Amino acid sequence: MVRRNRCVGDVTAACLKCTCCTCTASVEQQQRLACWRDRRRSSCPVDLRARSRRFFSFAEQRKTDVRSSRGKLFLDFFIMNVWIFALFAALVAVGESDDPCLCATMKWASCGPTGTPGSCQCNITLAEKTDQPINCKALVPKCFLMKTEMYRRSKNQDTRSVGKPTEGFVDNDGIYDPDCEADGTFKAKQCNKTEECWCVNSAGVRRTEKEDMNIKCEKLVETYWIRLILDHGPVESSSLNKDSLKTALGDAIQERYMLDKSFVKEVEYDADAKKIQVDMKKDMTDRQTKLADVAYYMEKDIKKSPLFKNLAKFSPKVGTTTLDFTNILVYYVDAEPPTFKMNRLAGGVIAAIVVVLLIVAAGLLLLFFWNRQRKEKYSKTRQTDGETANN
């Protein structure tokens, strides 16, 4: 029982140095409490001071252990948060890469969820209030791409990704507003929304003269062979050859454009001109493999207006050498020859033919007058010889 009382006794007074305090029934306990409060008091009994030292040593050790435990707990908490953040970032990255509502093969696509959980549909705009569903796991057909580009231009929407390219190339891709079949192939007859029409091949390239709307295009002729002429920048390595280039280009085309590298049939290399000739061929009866789509995507990549969501450059690697392409020319070879007419030749060609004909005509006239003059001279010479003989 604790009671308030006046402190009595020499030891108690020396330890507590008070005249009025709360005392307990046990003087020894009161003395121990006083010594705990001040370990430096020399008036406390020896056994009490030793016990105090042990008590405070244990208390300090407990404080140290608590601090160490708190530090370790904080460190563990920090590491756990780092792992959680890393795991979350990885899940986000994986989610973005596999996100069904992102179209990797068409940066202008607009995607939205469908009624089925975890799936969505991506579309591109071909005309006003005309959206075309597309398959984002394959290249978008060239006919749809051209229509989308024409629509974006009509709305003053840029068809490039980062503005004007550094080379300052004129945008002369031969874009027109095509008519497409439901599966994205070109219709054989194209008019570009005018009364002037022509026939195209499966790549959408004109293969006849432009005539009126009565022109007959009986079928869509297949383009089975595409030749690419690629110009590349300076390279440090001089070990480039057609075999290593064929392997590197085949692998790069297969990875980026999803075309089996077996379609890359031949590669030629002109080291002095820094030109690579690539021939992509398929069977003439093959209507499934879209070589023109691959060529169109590649052309956009090299001219710095890529169509992919991923704007990485098409830069194949040959060993440790990375090829940086600066220009591309695309040539199309059809299963049937084109039907251009002489009377619709370009003005420059006609002018050249006229000049050649004039030169030939002038040469014939000179030859005629020279022969005539020689005959007259020969006739006069014979007449003079006859007069001399008569005399």
* 23-59 tens-digit pLDDT: 444 566 566 566 555 554 455 554 544 555 554 455 5
* Domain ranges within the chain, ordered by starting residue: 3-71, 156-342
- What string of H, E and C letters represents the secondary structure of 27-39? HHHHHHHHHHHCC
Amino acid at 287: R
Pairing of strands 120-127, 130-134: antiparallel
Buried b (16+ CB within 10 A) or exposed e, 155-187: eeeebeeeeeeeeeeeeebebbbbebeeebbbb
Which tokens in the block code for residue 104?
């990797």
* 63-76 tens-digit pLDDT: 556 556 656 665 66
Determine how many CB atoms are found less than 10 A away from the CB of residue 54.
10
Which tokens in the block code for residue 202?
């499966």
pLDDT at 357: 84
pLDDT at 96: 44
Residue 149 · residue 297 · CB < 8 Å: no
Q: Which residues of the chain have pLDDT under 70?
A: 1-100, 158-173, 237, 341-350, 377-391
pTM for this prediction: 0.60
Amino acid at 363: G
CA–CA separation, 336 vs 164, rounded Å? 38
- What string of H, E and C letters represents the secondary structure of the chain? CCEEECCCCHHHHHHHCCCCEEECCCHHHHHHHHHHHCCCCCCCCHHHHHHHHHHHHHHHHHHHHHHHHHHHHHHHHHHHHHHHHHHHHHHHHHHHHCCCCCCCCCCCCEEEECCCCCCEEEEEEEECCEEEEECCCCCCCHHHHHHHHHHHHHCCCCCCCCCCCCCCCCCCCCCCCCCECCCCCECCEECCCCCCEEEEECCCCECECCECCCCCCCCCECEEEEEEEEEECCCCCCCCCHHHHHHHHHHHHHHHHCCCHHHEEEEEEECCCCEEEEEEECCCCCCCCCHHHHHHHHHHHHCCCCCCCCCCCCCCEECCEECCEEEEEEEEEECCCCECCHHHCCHHHHHHHHHHHHHHHHHHHHHHHHHHHHHHHHHHHHHHHHHHHHC
Residue 301 · residue 101 · CB < 8 Å: no
Which tokens in the block code for residue 47?
């056994």
pLDDT at 175: 83
Buried b (16+ CB within 10 A) or exposed e, 273-308: ebebbbbbbbeeeeeebbbbbbbbbbbbbbbbbbbb
288 Cβ contact partners less than 8 Å away, ≥ 6 residues apart: none
